[in-house]
Structure 1
Amino acid sequence: MSHDGDLTAGRRPPAASGHRRPADPAPGPTEAEAASAQVAPKAGTVSERAYWRLAGGTALLVLAALVPLDFLTGRQLVVFQGVTLVAASTFAVALAVFSIVRSRGVERRWRLLLSAGLLTTLIGALYWSIGWAVAGRTSLRLRAEDAVYLVAPLLGLVGLLSIPTGPADRSAGQRAPPSDDDGRRVAAVVVALDSLMIVVSMFLIAWVAVLKHVTESGLRGWPFVVALAYPLSEVALVVVALLLLTFRRPRNGRAMWLITAGLLFFSISESALVYLTARGPFHVEDTALYWVGTVIGPPVLALGMVIPPGPASTRQTGFGRVGREDLSLWAHAYLPYLPLGVASLLVVVPAVRGEALQGLTLQLSIALATLVAIRQLITVAQNTRLMASLRATQRGLRYQALHDPLTGLANRALFTSEVDQAVAAHQADGRPLVVLFCDLDDFKTVNDTLGHNAGDELLRAVAGRLRGAVRQEDLTARLGGDEFAVLMRDPSDDPRATGDGTAWRIREAMRPGFEVHGRRRDVQASVGVAVADGGSPVASTEELLHRADQAMYAAKNRRRRRTRRTVREPRRSARR
């Protein structure tokens, strides 16, 4: 029989023992596998690579729809519009159907509801192509039957509200911790104000851009209702999407951004066409530019149905690592001000031109300005409160870093820093200072006999007596274990006498017994004194501390010798 080595010789093989050897842990996924798992397609979505291919195809489709607008005219332009609208809508519906087939439950529900709008767009594109590109109609006008298309925005609104989201974003409005009732109330007010800012801003945009002209167009009956309902329903969809992005956490944030962008493109084109037709019959050849959003919107919205959730990642900046979550927080903070900026431009530009603000435009502007002012006042109050809290936290952290958590005395870092400053002042202008080192005798026996909790209780009691034995302006510190120290600046005219007197008071303060866990314990202290003055200067902090340390050990040795003499004394008397 042969052995592989001394460690195995004479031992049973592991398999023969009565214990099963624990299985080796399964190897974890590699970085590449983890990365691929992060971007694996979820229900209703495609892979990251497939998504970028679809996005590239969408970009080519949009480019093909825009380029010919520069050189096609007349009948050719009308036919090209029809073909482009049908192609873009068919592509969007195909993507939507694909995502519906691959999804289940709530993920399928919101896709079905949003797909109703895409299907309506396809039907409208076919109707437009047949009516204008084939039948030869030449003008656009609003009709009562156009109200059928309003079903799609209503279903889309329900679909947006059905998109799965996480809990309310705690960062929105600088939300406070759950224990802070005032902070929660302020956060609720901030959320309400931001929501109102978005709603009022979007309505002001719709009013200035479209609705005002519709009310002044002279339309009556169903055409008037349709002309108002179209832009209002589109604005409602965009508002809900913005609110979801701002105050909720969609499970797939990238999808929500694409859906919002698609709705925005579609809303701009639809509102522009309503504005044109509300002014009277409009020649179809002049609508090509206004259909661009209707071509871009559906494919972008459909891409939002198939885009996979983005992988969690971070990027390096000059301020450290910034992740997607951090960027998302910034986006959510500034998102309510995006529609506000657009609304402000629509109001300020005419005012600069000399046009008077009046009617509903003026009222909405005043309401929006009031909301912004209140929001900014709350922001100032929040920032002030945050700065006060930050300073209090900094003070607390500084105190924790420079004080002993058990006794509340200064720690070694603070004590050494203060001694450095005192020594520097001594070297600069000869200011005297005294350092005392204090070590408890037989403290180890307390820990060994009564436990560490009793030792901690004793140390706290010693710290209290130590504070009472020194001057109020002196710095008392715990250096570690049972070692304490005192720094005395400006110790009167006789530093040596002041130091010795303080050492005597410390020893006397320790003389009465301590009550520890119901037992009386006698603990004495050995105190060493080091003085730096004109007669005994020091060159460095280390030299002064070394003097104090040597003096303390000398005092401890003297106490031990006295104790030994006290013990031997009865033996001498016995011999006599």
Structure 2
Amino acid sequence: MPRASKPLLVAALSVAVVVTLGGSGLLSPWWSQLVDDVGQFLAGVAAILACWLTAARHGGAQRWWRLWMGGAALGWTGGQALWSWYQLSGADALPSPSLADAGYLTLPVLALPAVVSLASARPPAGSPRRRPGQLLMVLDGLIVVGALFVLTWATALGSVVAAGAATPLAYTVAIAYPVTDLVLTIIVILLLATAAPANRGQLALLGAGLLSLSLSDSAFAYLVSKGATSMPPAADAGFVAGQALVAVAALTSARSEDAAPARPGTRWAFMLLPYVPVALTGVLFIVQLARGESMDGVEIAVETAVISLLIIRQAITLLENAVLLDRLSLSQARLAHQAFHDALTGLANRVLFHDRLGHALALHQRDGRPLAVLFCDLDDFKAVNDRHGHHAGDRLLRQVADRLRGAVREGDTVARVGGDEFAILLEGGGDPGGPAERVMAEIGRPFDLDGETIAVGVSVGLVEAGAHGAVPSADALLRRADAAMYAGKRRGKGRLVRYRVDLPDGTGTSDLAEALAATLRSEDGSAPGLDVHYQPIVRLHDGTVVAVEALARWTHPSLGPVSADLFIATAEQIGLIRLVDDFVLDRACRDAAAFRGPWASIAVHVNTSAARLGLPEHEETVRAAVLRHGLAPHRLLLELTETAPLPDLGAAAGAVHRLGRFGVRFALDDFGTGYNALAQLHAMPVDEVKLDRSFTLADGGRSEAICRSIVQICTGMGVTVVAEGIETDRQAAAMAALGCRYGQGHRYGVSAPLNLVAPPGALVLEERAATPLASG
């Protein structure tokens, strides 16, 4: 302790001076006694001044222990003044008992609360006091003191005191010194184990001072019991050193930094300390019984007190343990609640909601129990925070939570899963649209925030488990509800949207995309559920079928039939449209090769993305499909869809030329609505143009003029025109009058499986294995 070095040095020099001068033999006995007594008196005065002057600069326990110790030093110094008077003015060299003993014995009485206060003191930034632990330390000290007193009394102290104590008062005083010194010494040792690390240095100095006083007290008691006529200065060194160490402790401040915590083994030793001397007293009692000796009154009284204190200590320990267990249970319950609930609203958090959703989904999959999820997101909540502050936003969220609880049944789970996002788990059956509508109505009512009315909306996504096929996980179900909610946001907010399979989720895809990808990438390449339907293309003047268009159709095992426009767009979005095109191409070539009779020479039209033109692998796929099934190349007509611009018009034109030389013919599909239709017609040697259905309306206006112009341009270039979307005889007559020779539409038949479209005798009836999907 560097800060205590100088005061310690001064104290050591002072003790050395007093002891050396008093015991040197250079002075007469009276002057030697005077030096000894004055040295003790001045040491006491130094302790008083050090304690009380430094107390003014401190607060709390650091102030109180100095005040208590200053009072203790004052009592002791007063006793020393009387003692010195008796010695120097009277004839009694060791005046005992006397009034000086009353002053001396003031010290242990006031020093006890001083050491307890110092041991319980905490630095300014420290933790709160542990009063029950300090009380146990005091009880442990008393137990140890009592047990050690019984041991010392039975072995030596009793006989010494009895021999030197002529009167009851002398007997009491003789016992008081060793007992009080023993109490203070043991309590200081025990309290050192629980004192704050910052205060252990002060407590160690104070304890060393009290121990020094105790050693001189013990010497004094022994000399008195032996009838000594004087006390050598060396025996009084403890009185000077003790008060000097008290002054040093008062002048030393608590350390600002925490010292290393006590080791677990040290703490166990202090915990077991009171039981060791008690066990020794038991051994002593057994030895006395074996020798036929009886316990005197002092032993019985002190041993009874020790046992009583031990019982009290155990009762306090049990009570404290019960309180700690209650607090631990409450803390665990609080932590469990905090782990699974939102701190702001008190609702379930994402963890608890996910757990309950997983359990509900398991019951749904096992027993078919109804299950629905609502995903709610406040509209324009950020504007509330920006305008009114985050505290107002927090109050609004708490009110929203209360309204959500009131809008659903008690057994439903309401959770806050994000900043202004909430999820509701509905497990009770019935139409979930009812609770969803109540949620929107409740949140739609104005909110009152400190007298100001605030209105917010809510977008709600609703999904029912089992309504759109099997749900693989709780996360997938929650993503579906989230996708439905964001679909409502995109449509203008404040909407309730039920989930559909084509809605993209948070990953940028949808359940439809995942299901389609799984179909197209099936292990055996058969693409289960994917099929090809055909629609006839006819001559308008007589209705004769001249070709059929092959169209992809998909029926999912759980989703059912999926709209062609929807799953084709999805395939393009996820980059798997080529697999669909290749499947239809292979199937169409196989079926067309089997045509017989009236259909033996008709063509088959197959859609292919114009963006694939110019890619070598596409040309190889077309050639391979034609050759594999033995189809005459001129009977295959590839329709170029213009859903995306051509990346390289020159490369696409080259591919058309090369496949045209092979015999494959080409058509521009949906002509007039794509990218650079006239430029493609000019650059690529196509055989047909399929006029988009938007131009087949016979309204006599601009559509008719555009249609007439396209027919004239194509006729002049030798390109056949097919009118799409013909549904009535009037449309057919109008297109024929404009010079269009061929048509396609519901007027001549919808797309259907080949066996429903082809006339009798047009097909070779034989078992054919499913066409595998091209790999890659």
TM bucket by the smaller chain? 0.5 to 0.7
Q: 2:49 aligns with which of 100, 104, 122?
A: 104
Normalised by the length of structure 2, the TM-score is 0.44
Q: Is the 8 A contact 2:340 2:349 kept in 1?
A: yes
Q: Which one has more relative contact order, counting CA pairs under 8 Å at least 6 apart?
A: 1
Q: CA deviation at 1:257?
A: 0.5
1:230 and 2:168 correspond = no
Instruction: Give distance in 1, aligned partners of 2:201 and 2:261.
Output: 26
Q: Is the 8 A contact 1:154 1:233 kept in 2?
A: no
Q: CA deviation at 1:212?
A: 4.1
> What does residue 421 of structure 2 align with?
483
Instruction: Give distance in 2, aligned partners of 1:379 and 1:197.
Output: 15
> What does residue 467 of structure 1 align with?
405
Instruction: Give distance in 2, aligned partners of 1:478 and 1:204.
Output: 68
Q: Is the 8 A contact 2:177 2:218 kept in 1?
A: no
Kindly tell me: are residues 211 and 462 of structure 1, through their superposed partners in 2, closer, same or farther at Cα, counting changes over 3 Å? same
> What does residue 159 of structure 2 align with?
213
1:554 and 2:487 correspond = yes
1:304 and 2:248 correspond = no
Post-superposition Cα deviations, 1:224-266, rounded to whole Å, max 9, x if no partner, equal 7545522323423544676789699999423320122223333
Kindly tell me: are residues 191 and 260 of structure 1, through their superposed partners in 2, closer, same or farther at Cα, counting changes over 3 Å? same
Normalised by the length of structure 1, the TM-score is 0.56
1:372 and 2:310 correspond = yes
Q: Is the 8 A contact 2:376 2:423 kept in 1?
A: yes
> What does residue 255 of structure 1 align with?
205
Post-superposition Cα deviations, 1:323-354, rounded to whole Å, max 9, x if no partner, equal xxxx9xx79x969x967854663453242452
- Report 1:43-442 matches (<5 A): 47-48=4-5, 51=8, 97=42, 100=45, 104=49, 106=52, 114=76, 146-148=94-96, 153-159=101-107, 169=117, 204=150, 207-208=153-154, 212-213=158-159, 221=166, 225-226=169-170, 228-239=172-183, 252-271=202-221, 277=226, 294=235, 297-298=238-239, 301=242, 304-305=245-246, 307-308=248-249, 309=252, 311-312=254-255, 313-316=257-260, 342=277, 345-346=280-281, 348-352=283-287, 354=290, 355-357=293-295, 359-400=297-338, 402-412=340-350, 414-415=352-353, 434-442=372-380
Instruction: Give distance in 2, aligned partners of 1:212 and 1:167.
Output: 29
Q: Is the 8 A contact 2:181 2:211 kept in 1?
A: no
Instruction: Give distance in 1, aligned partners of 2:245 and 2:104.
Output: 14
Post-superposition Cα deviations, 1:169-222, rounded to whole Å, max 9, x if no partner, equal 4997xxxxxxxxxx99x99997996787577557646754566436865x7845
Q: Is the 8 A contact 1:90 1:122 kept in 2?
A: no
Instruction: Give distance in 1, aligned partners of 2:102 and 2:438.
Output: 86
- Report 1:556-571 matches (<5 A): 556-560=489-493
| Between structures 1 and 2, the one with greater helix share | 1
Q: Is the 8 A contact 2:72 2:110 kept in 1?
A: yes
Instruction: Give distance in 1, aligned partners of 2:205 and 2:118.
Output: 21
Kindly tell me: are residues 482 and 171 of structure 1, through their superposed partners in 2, closer, same or farther at Cα, counting changes over 3 Å? farther
Instruction: Give distance in 1, aligned partners of 2:479 and 2:286.
Output: 79
Post-superposition Cα deviations, 1:433-460, rounded to whole Å, max 9, x if no partner, equal 6543101234456667777666555433
Instruction: Give distance in 1, aligned partners of 2:38 and 2:462.
Output: 89
Kindly tell me: are residues 103 and 187 of structure 1, through their superposed partners in 2, closer, same or farther at Cα, counting changes over 3 Å? closer
SS state of the match for residue 330, structure 2?
helix
Q: What amino acid is aligned across from residue 257 of structure 1 in structure 2?
A: G
Q: Is the 8 A contact 1:120 1:149 kept in 2?
A: no
Instruction: Give distance in 2, aligned partners of 1:552 and 1:57.
Output: 87
Q: What amino acid is aligned across from residue 471 of structure 2 in structure 1?
A: P
> RMSD of the alignment, in Å?
6.3
- Between the aligned residues of both structures, percent identity stands at 29
List gaps (5 residues or longer) in structure 2. Answer: 26-30, 54-69, 121-129, 497-776
Q: Is the 8 A contact 1:231 1:270 kept in 2?
A: no
